[in-house]
Amino acid sequence: MTTLGIIGAGHIGSQVARAAVAHGYDVVISNSRGPETLGDLVAELGPNASAATAEEAGAAGDVIVVTVPLKALSQVPVEPLAGKIVLDTNNYYFERDGHIDALDKGETTTSQMLQEHLPTSKVAKAFNHIAFGDITTDGAPAGTDNRRALATSSDFDEAAAFVTSFYDELGFDTVNVGPLSESWRVERDRPAYVVRQNAAELTDNLTKANRLP
Ligand SMILES: NC(=O)c1ccc[n+]([C@@H]2O[C@H](COP(=O)([O-])OP(=O)(O)OC[C@H]3O[C@@H](n4cnc5c(N)ncnc54)[C@H](OP(=O)(O)O)[C@@H]3O)[C@@H](O)[C@H]2O)c1
């Protein structure tokens, strides 16, 4: 049984938790205010889910999902995530996160920033370009005509392979963008961002992306 440790219990964190428990994962989920504020969500998720602090969720998870606003990235615990696959849902909204010069200039990516914060973890981009509600409603069995595709990106084949397998379980095809340095292709305001697309359309949209929007 794989345990998913989820750091962030908002729109995306709660939806990834719902999808994960529905597919047989154990979930340990956390937010910024403490596990006592997650009672309703954990009750809804059922016996395979529990609430914890971010440190505890990081320690409990075999695989971790980091799904907090980018401005909170520096608060993500480092040591409990060491050596683990970390799924990164984050996007950059300067209106929310403040301006980050290296992102504004196209010199890094949001996922490279998380990888730098977690130097011994294996970061993979996941779920960053799908509206949260669609995670539990838009999946379809493998082989379905026009199945929706989602992108991943990682510097570690093992992490990209996990995301590919997890997407497939949840009902999505995968397009691998390549290393994290290429993950800007699926960041905000690019053609692949938060639109429904199959694998061929996603691949096409990735090639159309411009580094600076
Ligand atoms: N919304 C979408 O459809 C969507 C789609 C794709 C990607 N994304 C991206 O995914 C990320 C999360 O988005 P969201 O919409 O889920 O955000 P959200 O609804 O605002 O939820 C953010 C969650 O992060 C928690 N958090 C904040 N700081 C934390 C910390 N230091 N430690 C632990 N937890 C912390 C918050 O806890 P509290 O509730 O206690 O404050 C909250 O549970 C963002 O980067 C967003 O841009 C969003």
Confidence of residue 212 (pLDDT cuts 50, 70, 90): confident
pLDDT computed for residue 213 by the predictor? 63
Q: How far apart are CA 5 and CA 50, in angstroms?
A: 10
Confidence of residue 1 (pLDDT cuts 50, 70, 90): confident
Take residue 211 and report the two structure tokens written for it. Answer: 């580094």
CA of 117 to the centre of ligand 1 (A): 17
43-59: pLDDT as tens digits: 999 999 999 999 999 99
131 lines ligand 1 (CB under 6 A): yes
> Which atom in ligand 1 lies closest to the alpha carbon of residue 13?
16
Query: Three-state SS string across 95-163, please?
Result: HHHCCCHHHHCCCCCHHHHHHHHCCCCEEEECCCCCCHHHHHCCCCCCCCCCCCEEEEEECCHHHHHHH
Share of the chain above pLDDT 70, in %: 100
C-alpha 189: how far from chain center: 17
17 lines ligand 1 (CB under 6 A): no
CA of 12 to the centre of ligand 1 (A): 7
14 lines ligand 1 (CB under 6 A): no
56-83: pLDDT as tens digits: 999 999 999 999 999 999 999 999 999 9
pTM over 0.85: yes
133-176: pLDDT as tens digits: 999 999 999 999 999 999 999 999 999 999 999 999 999 999 99
- Smallest Cα–Cα separation from 104: which of 188, 164, 29? 188
